[in-house]
């Protein structure tokens, strides 16, 4: 086996897979190191990809050439589009996947990826010389050289699992913890802290009584994640989920046993996931709620395992059995595995550049849960960026940085590196200030040129995206030239409760009226009848929201102005006496690369940013002379 690579990726979870594939596909010989080949692409928690704010990340990974969207589509047992009654800015997709098939899919992709080598073992020491990565040493004594290493160790760094009072070392159930790697990172100067997450028990579906439970089926119209998905699973391969809920008696049992929950007994001090709380957290935080929803999600096609989404817990086994069996439908449920909480170490992502490379050690990149995020999608998006940037650094090319106004991934990374996070970070649409422009439905338009630039998406996909948007632009123009006469359109307008027309009006202006859709104007332009739904939806959106989009574009221009003012490496923030001590300390710690990043550091005041801008102008003027 070769001993020398361009890039080494530690870990084969959601970040690791995307990072290794991106790097190898960019022509950099890549080594993936993971404890075992069988856990490549494993979903540690629920068998689902996407969700509000997360679906956007999956599509971004996909159009940059990543695998998550394709894997989710190929192994889906349910497709849903969320928030469809709301505006396009907050709509997201979610796929329920077959856990075993998802993993098998990823393992096959990794196995057949040219330029990617797999090695089963435990990474223990990142080799560094003169401030640069030089390779990696494994527990079995083997060592590999590489100028770039990406750490995607997930929940494994110092992982400790809690089940009631029992504490076991491990990265997740059945897997060891990465203890040596954690010590190695500390010895390299990284400060580690603990975050916590948890998972519910797994139930035997054959012992669940579904007869009185509400069912949730796949959408009728299936929209895949990936621009490259050609075959959608047939309807007979789709499965429903079921809906049930906790009861007062469930809550009583949990309350009576709070003292046995590792989060409330003082056993776990780490910060947990605010937006994916355990059932114990829910009862503490929403004490007045009489019931909490529980979604019973099938784990796959050939398994009886059911994932009860909503009751993540660290309570002891007997308490889990007692409270779960008070939930309608679960009265006789048998447990295949108990829920547990996990504490694990993360780095401070403020230590990273926007490329996800360490500020202190060149060639060392971090991606995924290890940066303080939670979720498969957040991990995959970072993995993609770290993989591309590791490859670019090996090729000695400029880093790839997505801005906040062009991608959810840009917001995710910018939030992590400029604001840091005190709790596991999960993506939401509300975090994205330019979400009218950065939506799930226009991901291909926003990002395909990057996929093309890095050679990560095929010409066929690029051409299809170009054709689609040429058609959108053509139709948008065309609707200005075609009008509807009052006699024809007034019945439609009256039906919608709108003021009828006195004279003819271009279809473009009609579409701006509230409630008027492309479907209603299609009879006035024969060409529209043959236009694909996604193209029509896009035309409608651009016309209806034109005013808002223009407003947001102006804001983006202002934002880019600050973003374009670069702060030179090594700039001496301490020398700016007119800045407060706190502002100087923060700038010294975060080392922002642009004035925009400095502006987003929490606690930086507009006055401090103005002072910094004046100093930068002075600095650049002096450099010119
Ligand atoms: C119990 C539990 C509950 C969770 N609950 C939720 C939840 O409710 N909501 C949510 O969004 N997310 C949850 N997650 C988190 C979710 O699983 C992660 O966000 C996601 O898997 C992160 O992906 P990743 O690629 O960063 O890391 P992981 O998927 O954890 O992958 C890490 C990989 O690194 C490998 N590895 C680590 N150290 C070494 C080493 N030294 N040598 C070799 N290989 C190594 C591991 O084998 C693994 O393949 C939960 C995770 C666990 C374990």
Q: What is the pLDDT of residue 417?
A: 94
Residues 6 or more apart whose Cβ sits within 8 Å of residue 86: none
pTM: 0.93
Ligand 1 contact, 56 CB (< 6 A): no
Count of Cβ atoms closer than 10 Å to residue 96 Cβ = 30
Contacts of 262 (CB under 8 A, 6+ apart): 162, 164, 165, 167, 268, 314, 341
* DSSP-based three-state secondary structure for 314: coil
The best mutation among 54, 137, 154 to test binding of ligand 1, ranked by most ligand atoms within 8 Å of the C-beta, falls on: 154
- Is pLDDT of 276 > 80? no
Cα–Cα distance, 536 to 521 (Å, whole number) = 11
The string of pLDDT tens digits covering residues 511-522 is 999 889 998 899
**Spacing, Cα 271 to ligand 1 middle (Å):** 17
Position in ligand 1 atom list of the atom nearest CA 276: 8
In a 3-state reduction of DSSP, which class is residue 566?
strand
Instruction: Indicate whether residue 107 lines ligand 1 (CB < 6 A).
Output: no
Can you tell me the distance from the alpha carbon of 490 to that of 50, in angstroms, rounded to the nearest whole number?
A: 42
Looking at the chain, the number of H-run helices and the number of E-run strands are: 20, 23
* Residue-averaged pLDDT of the chain: 94
pLDDT of 562 reads: 85
pLDDT tens digit string along 345-402? 999 999 999 999 999 999 999 999 999 999 999 999 999 999 999 999 999 999 999 9
The full DSSP string for 399-464 is PP---TTT-HHHHHHHIIIII--SS-B---GGG-TTTTTS-STTHHHHHHHHHHHTT-S-HHHHHH
Tell me how crowded residue 544 is: count the other CB atoms within 10 A of its CB. Answer: 18
CA dist 442 and 308 (Å) reads 33
Percent of the chain exceeding pLDDT 90 equals: 76
Tens-digit pLDDT profile for residues 314-347? 999 999 999 999 999 999 999 999 999 999 999 9
404, 456 contact by CB (below 8 A): no
How many CB atoms are located within 10 Å of the residue 519 CB? 11
Lowest mean pLDDT among 67-81, 88-102, 391-405, 549-563: 549-563
Whether ligand 1 lies within 6 angstroms of the CB of 123 is answered as: yes
DSSP character for 67? S
Distance 75 CA to ligand 1 centre (A): 20
Which residues, at least 6 apart from 292, have a Cβ–Cβ distance to it below 8 Å? 245, 246, 279, 282, 286, 310, 311
CB 156 less than 6 A from any atom of ligand 1: yes
Least confident of 200-209, 308-317, 324-333, 614-623: 614-623
- First-to-last C-alpha distance (Å) of the chain: 55
pLDDT at 590: 86
Q: How far apart are CA 221 and CA 234, in angstroms?
A: 12
- The residue among 602, 566, 569, 606 whose CA lies nearest residue 585 is 602
Does ligand 1 come within 6 angstroms of the Cβ of 147?
no
Minimal CA–CA distance to 406: which of 375, 376, 385, 420?
A: 385
């Amino acid at each position: 086996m070769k001993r020398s690579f361009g890039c080494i990726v530690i870990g084969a979870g959601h970040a690791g897979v995307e990072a290794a594939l991106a790097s190898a596909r960019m022509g950099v010989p890549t080594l993936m190191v993971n404890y075992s080949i069988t856990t490549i692409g494993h979903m540690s928690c629920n068998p689902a990809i996407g969700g509000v704010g997360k679906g956007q990340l999956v599509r971004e990974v996909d159009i940059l050439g990543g695998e998550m969207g394709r894997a989710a589509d190929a192994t889906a047992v349910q497709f849903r589009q969320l928030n469809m009654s709301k505006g396009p800015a907050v709509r997201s997709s979610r796929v329920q996947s077959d856990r075993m098939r998802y993993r098998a899919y990823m393992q096959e992709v990794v196995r057949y990826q040219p330029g990617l080598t797999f090695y089963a073992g435990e990474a223990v020491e990142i080799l560094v010389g003169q401030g640069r990565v030089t390779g990696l040493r494994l527990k079995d004594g083997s060592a590999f050289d590489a100028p770039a290493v990406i750490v995607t160790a997930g929940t494994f760094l110092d992982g400790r699992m809690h089940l009631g009072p029992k504490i076991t070392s491990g990265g997740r159930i059945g897997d060891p913890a990465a203890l040596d790697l954690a010590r190695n990172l500390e010895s390299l100067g990284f400060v580690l802290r603990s975050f916590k997450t948890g998972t519910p028990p797994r139930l035997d579906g054959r012992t669940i009584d579904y007869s009185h439970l509400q069912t949730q089926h796949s959408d009728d119209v299936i929209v895949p994640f990936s621009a490259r998905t050609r075959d959608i699973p047939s309807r007979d391969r789709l499965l429903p989920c079921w809906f049930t809920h906790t009861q007062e008696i469930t809550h009583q049992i949990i309350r009576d046993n709070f003292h046995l929950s590792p989060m409330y007994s003082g056993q776990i001090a780490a910060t947990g996931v605010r937006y994916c709380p355990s059932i114990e957290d829910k009862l503490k935080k929403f004490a007045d709620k009489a019931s909490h929803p529980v979604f019973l999600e099938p784990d796959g096609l050939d398994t009886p395992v059911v994932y009860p989404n909503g009751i993540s817990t660290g309570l002891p086994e007997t308490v889990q059995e007692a409270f779960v069996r008070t939930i309608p439908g679960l009265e006789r449920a048998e447990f295949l595995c108990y829920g547990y909480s996990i504490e694990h170490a993360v780095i401070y992502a403020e230590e990273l550049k926007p490329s996800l490379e360490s500020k202190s050690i060149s060639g060392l990149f971090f991606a995924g849960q290890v940066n303080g995020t939670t979720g498969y999608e957040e991990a995959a998006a970072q993995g993609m960026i770290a993989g591309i940037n590791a490859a670019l650094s090996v090729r000695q090319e400029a880093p790839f940085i997505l801005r906040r106004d062009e991608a959810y991934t840009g917001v995710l990374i910018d939030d992590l590196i400029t604001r840091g996070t005190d709790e596991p970070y999960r993506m939401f649409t509300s975090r994205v200030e330019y979400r009218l422009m950065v939506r799930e439905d226009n991901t291909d338009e926003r990002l395909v040129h990057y996929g093309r630039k890095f050679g990560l998406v095929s010409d066929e996909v690029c051409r299809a995206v170009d054709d689609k948007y040429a058609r959108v632009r053509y139709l948008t123009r065309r609707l200005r030239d075609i009008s509807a006469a009052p006699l024809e359109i007034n019945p439609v307008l009256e039906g919608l409760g709108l003021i009828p027309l006195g004279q003819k009006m271009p279809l473009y202006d009609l579409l701006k009226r509230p409630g008027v859709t492309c479907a209603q104007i299609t009879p006035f332009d024969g060409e529209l009848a043959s236009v694909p739904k996604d193209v029509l939806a896009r035309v409608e959106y651009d016309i209806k929201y034109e005013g808002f989009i223009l407003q947001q574009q102006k804001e983006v221009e202002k934002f880019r102005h600050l973003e374009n003012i670069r702060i030179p490496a090594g700039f001496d923030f301490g020398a700016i006496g007119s800045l407060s001590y706190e502002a100087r300390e923060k700038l010294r710690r975060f080392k922002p690369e642009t004035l925009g990043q400095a502006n987003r550091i929490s606690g930086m005041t507009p006055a401090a940013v103005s002072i910094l801008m004046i100093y930068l102008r002075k600095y650049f003027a002096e450099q010119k002379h």
